[in-house]
Structure 1
Amino acid sequence: MTAAVPVAGHRFIIVGGASLVGSATAAELLDAGAAEVVLFDNFSMGSDAAIAHLKDNPRLRLVRGDVMRLPDLLRAMEGCDGALLLAAYMTLNMNTDPWGGLDVNVRGVQNALEAARANKVRKVVFASSNAVYGYGPGVKGDLVEDTPFHSVGAPPAAILYGATKIIGEQLCRDAKRRFGQDYVVLRYSTVYGERQHYRAANALYIIETWDKVKRGERPQVFGDGSETKHFVYVGDLARANRMAFESPATDVAVNTSGPKPVTTLELVRMVTKLAGSDVEPEFVGDTPGKVRLTSGGAFRIAHEEAFAAIGWKPEVDMEEGLARLMRWIDGNEARAA
């Protein structure tokens, strides 16, 4: 039996669905003809605003539930053909509540996989992260799928987050070995785009820069601006999630990154230009107590394996993706006013 799950005519659940990636993927699946998309969320981090544009779709069903309660997941997954596992604490949340993060990112994944097994869900797509490669001076060069984990010199919250994603991947592998559960792991880069949330340290930097420039202030660049960042546009990622279900691939983990890396200085200059300003950035040192994710220098998150496994590659470059995000922010600020 093939591991491919065609989207058209089938039912899917997105665990952690009231989110940036969840809402974009729900729209992608509905547009591709899914019979039903279930958004499962406890709304501790997700928001009604993130899914407001989908609520009138008769093939969308919203279920309030918690990954820490297995019965919630068991009921919600009944009749589903595919499950996208998004629910997680990210680094900033892990910094404030590491115990809660370990619970959700480990036991929550265990619960979701058990619910998938019990309901005979055909395929699971697990949202992992390039955090499985770690942070700090050891992270450099091409980061390919067998690159080891680096932890020296990085904030504990970042390492805890990366370690939980490694555990989540291994729980998927274990479910495949024990029960034959088909799965694909996608290692997301930092996601940005319309309906941007404020929980990812690097994505937050985009918004902070935009807000400063709009207020007429100089944007801040940490260090000399050469620090490498990796982003992926949310629409590209929604497409990757769909293609992971539709592909015959199983028992694989692949990177889903944007077309190319960007330095902090390049990013700030792009945002400043899009804001219609030519103000020069202010170069500053680190703020004590602020969690920032740093690398040791230039690196590239290689996404060639994703094309080999599921036929995916990124299409939206950083400047175009930022322009879409800024148009969305401007439109929503205007409506809010």
Structure 2
Amino acid sequence: MSGKNPALPIKDHRFLIVGGASLVGSTTADEFLRRGAKEVVLLDNFSFGSKDAIKHLEGNPRVRVVQGDVMRLHELLKAFEGVDGVLHLAAMMTISMDRDPWAGLDVNIRGAQNVIEAARTNGVKKLVFASSNAVYGYGPGVAGDLVESTPFNSVGAPPAAILYGASKIVGEQLCRDAYRRYGLDYVVLRYSTVYGERQHYRAANALYIIETHDRIKAGERPRVIGDGSESKHFVYVGDVARANAAAFEAKATDVQVNVSGPAPTTTLELVQMVCEATGSDLKPEHVEPPAGKVRLTSGGAFKIDHTAAGKAIGWKPEVDMREGIRRLIEWRDETGA
């Protein structure tokens, strides 16, 4: 144990979100502010983060935006001064890893180490590391209930997906090592596929939702890959923001837990929910997987179990897939996103 109380209340404390100008970062900033954070610092290099995602926070006296890069330790050391808690979100995802694996590994591994070093040097009280269900791998061996002890599977999956999952495993172990060496309290949250308002086009599975919506808006039939029985497990971004806050406020440390939605859904069900949310009567067409495109698949029906998160940080999801998609579609229609 670290020898101190690892619980860090959001109220009256200062938090820094690495990768703050993102879907999860901007929504978590809203949650921290709602819970009474003294200050929320949003650090981003804006290579993937969007200033539009945090536009609604402009002028808020409790919000500070810092342009910085996880590959530049000196920038992190300065930004982390006086911060109580750090949420590390910045990472290259599978699609980016496919385009430039070397850069992806640098950002996801060396970047994580830089964040840990800056947190340790500045006496940060707690680090929350955003990991992924990708630590369980992809391919034929991934099926059934995925729990925190499920081993990594790499057989039959695209290299980019395996590189991404492996980079997250390394990031988790760097957190464990910093706890062992220096007593840096941390919680690892293994997100399933995050979706919701301010959705971007970079997450391979979440992309399926907005591409379906784009086709329907264009008057084209939505596409279902294969027979539509393939399982996906999503989690609504507002639930993720609550999990981030809960991880800081809980007494838990040196743990890794899944953060997933209430239940998995099939790709056919997903397309039908998007049609329902848009009021479309277009019938989906079944197509073969597109050649050359990164797809993240499992070996069969699976569920990412979040029971451990309830025990460790007192969290469970509240928004089901149908309601989450309704909110996402409503936001896209209202904003023209």
Structure-2-length-normalised TM-score: 0.98
SS in 2 for 1:201: coil
SS in 1 for 2:64: strand
Counterpart residue identity of residue 218, structure 2: R
Measure, in 2, the Cα distance between the counterparts of 1:56 and 1:32. Answer: 18
Measure, in 2, the Cα distance between the counterparts of 1:279 and 1:35. Answer: 49
Measure, in 2, the Cα distance between the counterparts of 1:227 and 1:84. Answer: 32
Report the equivalent of 1:256.
259
Report the equivalent of 1:159.
162
Measure, in 2, the Cα distance between the counterparts of 1:53 and 1:238. Answer: 17
1:49 aligns with 2:52: yes
1:195 aligns with 2:188: no
SS in 1 for 2:106: helix
Report the equivalent of 1:78.
81
Moved over 2 A (4+): none
Report the equivalent of 1:32.
35
1:275, CA displacement in angstroms?
Answer: 1.2
SS in 1 for 2:205: helix
**Runs of 5+ consecutive residues of structure 1 not aligned to the other structure:** none
1:311 aligns with 2:321: no
1:25, CA displacement in angstroms?
Answer: 0.4
Measure, in 2, the Cα distance between the counterparts of 1:280 and 1:120. Answer: 56
Measure, in 2, the Cα distance between the counterparts of 1:324 and 1:287. Answer: 28
Matches within 5 A, 1:111-130: 111-130=114-133
Name the count of aligned residue pairs: 334
1:278, CA displacement in angstroms?
Answer: 1.7
Matches within 5 A, 1:213-252: 213-252=216-255
Moved more, 154-163 or 210-219: 210-219
1:190, CA displacement in angstroms?
Answer: 0.5
Measure, in 2, the Cα distance between the counterparts of 1:178 and 1:164. Answer: 21
Measure, in 1, the Cα distance between the counterparts of 2:298 and 2:224. Answer: 15
Counterpart residue identity of residue 302, structure 1: D
**Runs of 5+ consecutive residues of structure 2 not aligned to the other structure:** none
What does the per-residue CA deviation read over 1:84-124, in whole Å, with 9 as the maximum and x for residues that have no partner? Answer: 00000000000001000000000000000000000000000
Report the equivalent of 1:12.
15
Report the equivalent of 1:330.
333
SS in 2 for 1:145: coil
SS in 1 for 2:188: strand
Measure, in 2, the Cα distance between the counterparts of 1:59 and 1:273. Answer: 39
Counterpart residue identity of residue 248, structure 1: K
Report the equivalent of 1:172.
175
Measure, in 1, the Cα distance between the counterparts of 2:313 and 2:208. Answer: 31
SS in 2 for 1:102: helix
1:213, CA displacement in angstroms?
Answer: 1.0
Moved more, 286-295 or 162-171: 286-295
Structure-1-length-normalised TM-score: 0.98
Counterpart residue identity of residue 52, structure 1: K
What does the per-residue CA deviation read over 1:277-330, in whole Å, with 9 as the maximum and x for residues that have no partner? Answer: 121111111111111111111011000000000000000000001111011000
SS in 1 for 2:308: helix
Report the equivalent of 1:281.
284
What does the per-residue CA deviation read over 1:246-304, in whole Å, with 9 as the maximum and x for residues that have no partner? Answer: 00000000000000000000000000111111211111111111111111110110000
Matches within 5 A, 1:124-143: 124-143=127-146
1:72, CA displacement in angstroms?
Answer: 0.3
**How many percent of aligned residue pairs carry the same amino acid?**
71
Counterpart residue identity of residue 279, structure 1: L
Measure, in 2, the Cα distance between the counterparts of 1:20 and 1:127. Answer: 13
Measure, in 2, the Cα distance between the counterparts of 1:177 and 1:215. Answer: 54
